[in-house]
Chains A and B, each alone.
Chain A
Amino acid sequence: MSATNLHMYALATPLIGAFAVMVVGRFSRRAVAPMVLGILSFSFAAALAVFLQVLSGGGFRYVVGNWLAPYGIELSVDHLGSLMQLLVSGVALTASVSAVKSVAKDLEERQHLFFTLYLILIAGLHGLVLTADAFNVYVLLEIASITAYGLIALGRGRAVVSSFNYVIMGSTGACFYLLGIGYLYILTGTLNMADLARIIPTLESGAALATAFAFCIVGLWIKMAFFPLHVWLPNAYSDMPDGAAVLVAPLMTKVTIYLMIRFMFSIFSPAYEFIQHAGVQQIVVGVAALGIVCASAMAIAQKNLRRMLTYLIIAEVGYMVGGVWLANAQGMTGAILHIVNDALMTLCLFLAVSAIAYHEGALDFDRLRGLFRRMPVTMAALVVAALSMIGVPPTCGFFSKWYLLLGGIEAGQWLYVGALIFSSLVNAVLFFRVIEIAYFRTPDEVAHGSGHEALQVREAPAAMLQPLVLAAAALIGVGLATGPLVQHVIRFAVPVGF
């Protein structure tokens, strides 16, 4: 394989592997897990190689099958893209180690079907982070979304209803985006990002262009559950199988935010969004601040760990959208850093949830009593993730929040700064409430003198603990590596002129 093709292997292996898993899985269920792990390990190794190559040699553009743009499919492998690809493949691999166990328990006969969708979703995400074509974004986003609808529908309780709700909202978002790029195509005659970026500044900035921009951006906001377009998310994310949640929750919203960044800076330009429409910029940051506050407040009202986390995801979306729209280098750095950090934090939290659910089933707060005794390792990892969500150094959550706050102060967006601090405090309350329940309360059976096994250590299987511990360690490791990460990768993603 040639060195410049590696990113294609990272993308194509899960796609082709998905069908192989479906066929082989019909005959031998035992083969599914090794195949999935093998495919994702290979994909991760390739993504890592591409990332290192970009680090040393810089980014490049790639034309699939030598069909030249504007007709062919062009990919752009730059610093941000390869970082995202590394993130996607790393999170996918880590999540799948745990998913293999929990899916075997939850879905038994349907494992191979689950993993078929799972791998197609991963392939879609790989494509999304690399594509340099606005229409392919639509196609790949639908591949990722439709597989996600399927995965959610496999879940517990009212999962089918939640999934259907998500289908309606997600399809609306997709239609918006499609309409938007339709306008763009009429205006410019191309859908290649580089061409668009060249042509758009020459156009008169009229209502048509603004409509195109608005449709696309609102479409993406629906897909990423930006407040107040978030209502589909809590049900969908809390009802899906744990094996899917560990993949979908960390990656889907984050990749969509990445797409928003691409759309705003690779197709349109900072000048268009922040100078020509400065009023819109103010409003978006304000809404982001409002979203952070409201989502945090709604998280307080939850009585179930999983649902609490889903509202926190919405609050974190507000962090990142706000950071991007602050229109300065610090905010942008913070937003990109937070994409990475939040993916890892969410991964760690959902891995912990999945480990707890393996034995406990439901995750209502009442069920968490005495959990520090039963699952010390899981709870330790959960505490690390909680500290990162609160923003305690040296966990990575602190550093992205640092940049976001810095950006907010620089831009004079005090509402946003206040919202970030408010959300940190709320996170502290939320997580210490959980920790307190798990640390203090003894289960009812013990109080009644029976059921001493409630005090015995009963951890989830090792295959679920290892990724969890790895993710928790990554939170600290990435935190300490913030300096080089910003210096060597994210710096290149900040648009010129900031």
Chain B
Amino acid sequence: MNLEPSYWPLAAVLISLLGVVPILLSDRRPNLREAWTVLISLGKFTIIAALLPAVLEGGGYRITLAEVLPGVAIALRVDAMGMYFALVASFLWILTSIYSIGYMRALDEHDQTRYYASFAVAMSATVGVAFSANLLTLYLFYEMLSLSTYPLVTHKQDAEARSAGRKYLTYLLGTSVAFTLPAMILIYTLTGTLDFTAGGILAGKADASTVSLLLVLLVFGFAKAAVMPFHGWLPAAMVAPTPVSSFLHGVAVVKVGVFSILRMVFFVFGTGLLADLNLGVVLTTLASITVLVASLVALTQDNLKRRLAYSTIGQLSYMILGAGMLTAAGMTGGLLHLSMHAFGKITLFLCAGAIYIAAHKSNISEMDGLGRRMPVTYGAFFLASLSIIGMPPLGGFLSKWSLVVGAIDGGQLLLVAVVLVSSMLNAAYFFPIVYRGFFARAADGNGGEEIREAPLLCLIPLSITALFCLALFLWPSVLLQLIQMVVSS
């Protein structure tokens, strides 16, 4: 791959980090502050989109900032895989920013400046992870993301938020220091480099037991991917304001975890090495257990956001499952599910937020009949849940189809069963919500006549993301092309 030196990747990462300054300075002028947020999110997406053509032509960009250790620099690079993730994340950030304005103002939340500033830092970290050229840089941005989202998770600053925040950092920081850091040092000792290289760097440098150890350390070390048993932080993090749950804990944070694991599988271990040592089964076993157990737990949750959180835990492991199949179709499916799930889950969370603003309800059992009051919200919810279940004509179908094909290609019929059973479980925990919304009678007799749809600033983003679930089924070509480039390398 031919990577051209350029400052643009750095600009893409830094724009939202430096954007914190004007956001903080306009503390007393909310309109100006929100204008900055939207402007920065648009700028970020524009820069990333401008880098896309070169990547599609098979090129890319790179920049080395500082050579901090022999053979290891803090360096960024834009390749197909990073571009794919950065594109999805930065696009969804624009919509989340707009939604945040509607949400935070409707609820008259405190400390909004801190909220927007932390959000911007988190976004820098997310794109930083996407564009990292080596494991050290990735680790740096990964930690930055854990820390910058802490004030967001604990936004309410009450006792519940405090214990959630404690759990959040214990899981995320604890695993990364205890597992990822030693794994990284071990890789460096073995290979003398940490650069992401297509086909991996470990082949021939480590024996089977060391590679297995590293794999397990890294899968659990990137606990943002919420592979069981290190998933407990995600439901806890749901105390955050809904835009945070939707974007960060539906898209950015959790996908950073999955993205990191996939980066390891493709660019550190190399699928060839994992296939030779027959280690794909480690990934698929851990992922299958998580997929099934999380879906079952989701069934039992009455709090809407917690149900969505367990759904997220399950869906994330689909992506790891796909990578673990070690077949082209499986990997394509796993990567594709990253974006399909992103659009679907963000819509679901945004709907949950809209319901909370409009009706101040967060438990599913209290939402009977709400759909008739809020048809747009519930319509979007329905579309997005169909996509995540994997029904045509919605994006999620493509990724699940690809996963099933991948499992058959690899001759792993058990995994086909896992995907299908779990999809049925998905239907089982999503449909009742929609059904109750549209058809059930409200328990207290009055249909809540005073309840209206949420503010427009909330409705528009969630409609757009819902429509994207549909559009991505029809026109997935750019995303597929990027994925193809990753898989074929």
Taking beta carbons and an 8 Å cutoff, which residues of A are in contact with B?
387, 390-394, 399, 402, 405-406, 409-410, 417, 421, 424-425, 428, 432, 436, 439-440, 479-483, 486
Distance in angstroms from B20 CB to nearest chain A CB is 12
Given A421-B181, A439-B157, 10 other A-B residues pairs in contact with their CB atoms under 8 A: A390-B177, A392-B147, A393-B139, A394-B68, A399-B68, A410-B189, A421-B178, A428-B169, A428-B177, A486-B70
What residues on A are CB-neighbors of B181 within 8 Å? 391, 405, 421, 424
Which residue, of A391, A393, A421, A439, has the highest number of chain B Cβ atoms within 10 A? A393
Tell me if B424 counts as interface (CB < 8 A to partner A): no
If the complex has contacts A393-B139, A393-B140, A436-B165, are A428 and B66 also in contact, measured as CB distance less than 8 A? no
The reply on B372 being an interface residue by CB < 8 A is: no
The reply on B3 being an interface residue by CB < 8 A is no
Contact of A482 among B68, B174, B189 (CB under 8 A): B68
Residues of B within 8 A of A393 (CB): 136, 139-140, 143
Main secondary structure of the interface of B (DSSP, over half): helix
Q: Pick the residue among B74, B162, B177 that contacts A480 (CB under 8 A).
A: B74
Partner of A387, one of B147, B154, B162: B147
The minimal Cβ–Cβ distance linking B314 to chain A, given in whole angstroms, is 29
Q: How many positions in chain B have a CB within 8 Å of any CB in the partner chain?
A: 31
> Is the Cβ of A480 less than 8 Å from the Cβ of B186?
no
Interface residues of B in 53-79 (CB under 8 A from A): 65-70, 73-74
B-side contacts of A391, CB under 8 Å: 177, 181
B143 touches A402 (CB 8 A): no
Cα A457 to Cα B147 with chains together (Å): 23
Q: What are 25 inter-chain pairs, A to B, with CB distance below 8 A?
A: A390-B173, A390-B177, A391-B177, A392-B140, A393-B136, A393-B139, A393-B143, A399-B69, A406-B188, A406-B189, A410-B189, A421-B177, A421-B181, A425-B174, A425-B177, A428-B169, A428-B173, A432-B166, A432-B169, A439-B154, A440-B154, A479-B68, A482-B69, A483-B68, A486-B70
Q: Which residues of B contact A406 (CB under 8 A)?
A: 185, 188-189
Chain A residues in 8 Å Cβ range of B157: 439-440
Q: Are B69 and A402 in contact (CB under 8 A)?
A: yes
B182 within 8 A of A: yes
A414 to chain B, nearest CB (A): 10
Q: Which of B138-171 contact A (CB under 8 A)?
A: 139-140, 143, 147, 151, 154, 157, 161-162, 165-166, 169
- Interface contact tally, CB-CB below 8 A: 72
CA distance A432 to B154 in the complex (A): 13
Distance between Cα atoms of A159 and B188 in the complex (Å): 48
Residues of A within 8 A of B70 (CB): 483, 486
Task: Give the contacting residue for B185; candidates A405, A425, A482, A483; CB below 8 A.
Answer: A405
Checking A399, A436, A480 against B166 with a beta-carbon cut-off of 8 angstroms, the contacting residue is: A436
Q: Is the CB of A483 within 8 A of B67?
A: yes
Task: Tell me the bound Cα distance from A425 to B182 in angstroms.
Answer: 13
A312 nearest CB across to chain B (Å): 16
Task: Provide the residues of chain B in CB contact with A421, threshold 8 Å.
Answer: 177-178, 181-182
The residue of chain A having its C-beta at the shortest distance from the C-beta of B137 within the complex is: A393
For A439, what are the chain B residues with a Cβ–Cβ distance below 8 Å? 151, 154, 157
Q: B173 to chain A: which residues have CB within 8 Å? A: 390, 428, 432
Residue of A nearest to B161 (CB): A440
| Complex CA distance for A421 and B188, rounded to whole angstroms | 17
